[in-house]
Amino acid sequence: MFQKILVANRGEIAVRIIRACKQLSIETVAIYSDVDQESLHVQLADEAVCIGPAASQESYLNKESIITAAINTGAEAIHPGFGFLSENADFSQLCHDCGIIFIGPSGDVIHKMGNKSHARKLMEEAGVPVVPGSDGAVASLKEAREIAGKIGYPVLIKASSGGGGRGMRVAYRANDFDQAFNTAKSEAKNAFGDSTMYLEKYMENPKHIEFQILADKYGAVIHLGERDCSIQRRNQKVIEEAPSLIDPKMREQMGKDAINAAKAVGYENAGTIEYIACDNAYYFIEMNTRIQVEHPVTEMITGVDIIQQQIHIASGEKLRYTQEEITFDGWSIECRINAEDPVHDFRPNPGMIDLLHVPSGFGIRFDSFIYSGYTVLPYYDSMMGKLIVHAPTRKEAIQKMRVSLDELIITGVKNNRHFLSKILTDIDYYNGNFDTSFITRKKEFLLE
């Protein structure tokens, strides 16, 4: 087991990783930008190293500075969390070259699955169902236009190196295609440095279902069940829950395909196979080669600490569970608490938190890094934390989340607590009648 781990991240996921390390008696090193010195992860870690100014490119994305911090502090491993360098193949390889363990898959696997068009081909070869679309990346606008005509509109135009909804556009008609393609291509180039695009048939209003997998370096792979992440705004998840309301037979096959997908690429560590599901069919869309924001709902229904399992796997241990040993208990829901103003198009709202009161009680968890007097910075993501509940049934979990949101107090910065509460009171959400179009369809009601 490792003696010291550097956490190459900030915010709530850095705090989450540090806590997991402490419970395993592992020393931790925090990194921080010069504006992040008062962040909770810096205060909780055994050591902390400033690695640059506020701009992410000069701090949390600065590979050389992070590696230097790891070497200078004697850290044997680096946990990247999510975002920043967590899915950066070059960083994973750089860690390897410097004799530091990257707590995640190899750079080669990240590269394979990070390129969405390449990952799609790999999944086809592994027998995992994929959305009808182009056979890999498209070479030109002319070729893309021809393929779109064969697929049939509407068509989803996606960046091969995309993520978080960037580099993605929908063309509903042939007349819309050229502008949508060029816009997505330009956005992808600016966001990812890669303007390679591919096409998929646009499935209108599907469910977004993802399977959590764990894999060790000895070829063993298991899944920890699925999460429903359909409540989204602009392709960004807002509320997640586990399990989902999908058909049990389809769930079983999706789980088998998730394991086959991981085995097909020689995957190691924690990852997520993402599907869209509609009309009793499902299709692979991508693999996230990292821990997910919404991993707590899976932890709540399985009792498996996924962060600790990541560390065990990276240290060379065999998986501690077989598939038969994974059991599922009850229902869990997670709400992302953001410093944003929903009424004004969800504009980020940084500032000082005057008062923070966090709900507590049986089956209630708040993963966060904020505290009274903390200043939410304008330089990074607006998520302040995640409120998670667990209960025996979905309806009980919804009620527990409603009560918990009512109790949560954050003053000084505008936030989305009321918006989340409105979702939880909607009759369609309560009855499970929702898909990825839910927020768009219900926007007027949700913003009342």
Catalytic residues: 290
d(CA 310, CA 306): 6
Which residues does 274 contact at the CB level (< 8 Å), separation at least 6? 208, 209, 210, 284, 285, 286, 287, 288
Phi-psi category of residue 245: left, alpha or beta, with phi > 0 → left and psi -120 to 50 → alpha: alpha
Burial of residue 223, with CB atoms counted within 10 A of its CB: 0-12 exposed, 13-18 middle, 19 or more buried: buried
d(CA 238, CA 344): 17
d(CA 424, CA 398): 7
Neighbours of 305 (CB within 10 A): 16
220 sits in which H/E element: none
Q: Which long-range contacts (CB under 8 A, 24 or more apart) does 423-426 make?
A: 423/231, 423/238, 423/239, 424/239, 424/398
Q: Give the tokens for residue 163.
A: 């993520």
Q: How far is CA 372 from CA 58, 95, 155, in A?
A: 28, 37, 47
Q: Report the sign of the C-alpha dihedral through residues 230, 288, 17, 378, in that order.
A: negative
Q: Do 115 and 105 contact (CB within 8 A), yes or no?
A: no
**Cα 413 from chain centre:** 24
Q: How far is CA 277 from CA 81, 199, 315, 429, in A?
A: 28, 18, 36, 17
Angle between helix 11-23 and 306-314 (nearest 10): 70
